[in-house]
Amino acid sequence: MRLLHLAKLMKLGFGVSVVVDQFCDRLKSRNVAGIIGCEETDGSYARHDVVALKADPVAIAALVARERIDAVVAYTTPFFECLPRLAAQIPCFACECGEPTPELFDQGSAMRRTIVENKRINVYPVVSGVCAISDFIRHDIGWPEAAVVRLGWEHAWSGAEPLSAPIERAENEPICLGGLVRLGPGEARYKGYDLFVGLAERLRARQVPIRIDLAGHGDAADAEVYDRLGVKVHLNISDMERTRFYRGLDILFSPSLWEGCNLPLMEAQANGALGLALDTGAHPEYTPFVMRSLTDVERLIVSCAADHGQLQKLRRASFDYITRGFGWDLSVDSFLAFLYSSASA
């Protein structure tokens, strides 16, 4: 089988790019070849056959014929919207990573709502199959027939030494709380950055012995809001630097109000951090530690700061949950089972 994978971006720091990258890596070992078509790339995934491609059914059909493609898999808009024009010529599949709730954006919410509705009405009914990266996404897209293909974590080690357990910490060191963010206004609301700032303020006010670090893409101006809180921001780090960042954390907190999976939460847990998240989106599927409120998050962090033994047990529980229950090989096996079963239906 030879697949054409379609995603708007193949760039560092974007979750869908990681999904396509990891799928392609493991599909090769299962004798499933393919290429990636995208509108924009920064060269981070050059080890794959990545081609610049407009979201145009005619251009896609030409590439399919030229490269002798057996099936097309779209992961994002605007390529989803091309599938109805292609579905009569070649098997087409939608791999849904989801669209954040449109109302969580200050601008463009009406357009985003139109995209969501259009997929459900005009795309899903005509393709050969739809899969989703979580039970939450299957529900959120309104397509209960979608297969669930959960994601993996091994990319989070990024060439570092494998871990068999979280790294032990010295008892006399303050614990480290962290988060991985994309700085700037675009996603700030649904990612819950204001909640992270509020948590940092509350912890500082209580004089909890804790170090707070953030890592993310953005510029120095975007990071200024955290300066007054004594929060260190690591800007535009590489994959290897991200792994080292995770391994320096004791706790990672994701304040996001919507997530189809939350790869940073998985990545941090795979590197030994206790993964905390609000009880929103797909978080309950990807960490055993979901909190009902910021007060609950604060209470647990304060407790861990006072009891390093308890913290170590919780870190180990997070680590085992991810590394024993998930994996990219499991993901790709589920993905292939979905493709084959959908094609034969």
Q: Which residues contact 297 (CB under 8 A, 6 or more apart)?
A: 199, 253, 276, 278, 291
Phi–psi pair at 317, nearest 5 degrees: -65, -40
Q: 333 and 295 in one domain?
A: no
Sign of CA dihedral 70, 16, 242, 150: negative
Percent of the chain residues topping a pLDDT of 70: 97
Q: 195 and 162 in one domain?
A: yes
Q: 192 and 78 in one domain?
A: no
Tokens of residue 258, six digits: 């919507």
- Decide: 129 and 86 in contact? Cβ < 8 Å: no
What pLDDT shows up at residue 244? 95
Q: Which helix (H) or strand (E) holds 283?
A: helix 283-286
Taking the C-alpha atoms of residue 301 and residue 6, their distance in angstroms, rounded to an integer, is 41
What pLDDT shows up at residue 158? 86
Percent of the chain residues topping a pLDDT of 90: 81
Mean pLDDT of 324-328: 98
Q: 313 and 229 in one domain?
A: yes
Strand order from edge to edge, sheet including 92-96: 50-52, 33-41, 2-10, 71-74, 92-96, 129-132, 147-148
pLDDT tens profile 254-305: 999 999 999 999 999 999 999 999 999 999 999 999 999 999 999 999 999 9
For residue 100, whether the previous peptide bond is cis, meaning omega lies within 30 degrees of 0, is no
Q: 206 and 332 in one domain?
A: no
pLDDT tens profile 28-38: 999 999 999 99
- Decide: 40 and 7 in contact? Cβ < 8 Å: no
Which residues in the chain belong to E strands, given as ranges?
A: 2-10, 33-41, 50-52, 71-74, 92-96, 129-132, 147-148, 175-182, 210-217, 232-235, 251-254, 274-278, 290-291
- Decide: 340 and 32 in contact? Cβ < 8 Å: no
What pLDDT shows up at residue 221? 78
- Pick left, alpha or beta for residue 191 (phi over 0 → left; psi -120 to 50 → alpha; otherwise beta): alpha
Q: 198 and 101 in one domain?
A: no
- Decide: 156 and 246 in contact? Cβ < 8 Å: yes
What is the DSSP code (8-state) at residue 251? E
Mean pLDDT of 98-127: 92
CATH of the domain at 183: 3.40.50.2000
Count structural domains, the chain: 2
What pLDDT shows up at residue 94? 98
211: three-class secondary structure by DSSP: strand
Tell me the average pLDDT of the chain: 93
Mean pLDDT of 109-126: 96
- Decide: 135 and 221 in contact? Cβ < 8 Å: no
141: three-class secondary structure by DSSP: coil
pLDDT tens profile 52-78: 999 999 999 999 999 999 999 999 999
- H-state helical runs in 51-143: 57-67, 83-86, 109-118, 135-140
What pLDDT shows up at residue 184? 63
Q: Which helix (H) or strand (E) holds 263?
A: helix 263-270
What is the DSSP code (8-state) at residue 121? I
Mean pLDDT of 171-194: 80
What pLDDT shows up at residue 170? 84
Q: 265 and 338 in one domain?
A: no
Nearest alpha-carbon partner for 78 in 30, 29, 111: 111
Q: 29 and 66 in one domain?
A: yes
Q: Residue 170 belongs to what domain range?
A: 156-325
Q: 195 and 86 in one domain?
A: no
Q: Is the pLDDT of residue 183 over 80?
A: no
Q: 145 and 103 in one domain?
A: yes
Q: 333 and 264 in one domain?
A: no
Per the model's pLDDT, the better-predicted residue between 332 and 195 turns out to be 332
Give the range among 83-87, 180-184, 227-231 with minimum mean pLDDT.
180-184
pLDDT tier for residue 185 given thresholds of 50, 70 and 90 = low
What pLDDT shows up at residue 187? 63
- Decide: 242 and 180 in contact? Cβ < 8 Å: yes
pLDDT tens profile 200-250: 999 999 999 999 999 987 778 777 777 878 888 988 888 899 999 999 999
Nearest alpha-carbon partner for 12 in 182, 239, 260, 271: 239
Nearest alpha-carbon partner for 166 in 245, 295, 89, 268: 268
Q: 173 and 66 in one domain?
A: no
What pLDDT shows up at residue 89? 95
What pLDDT shows up at residue 107? 80
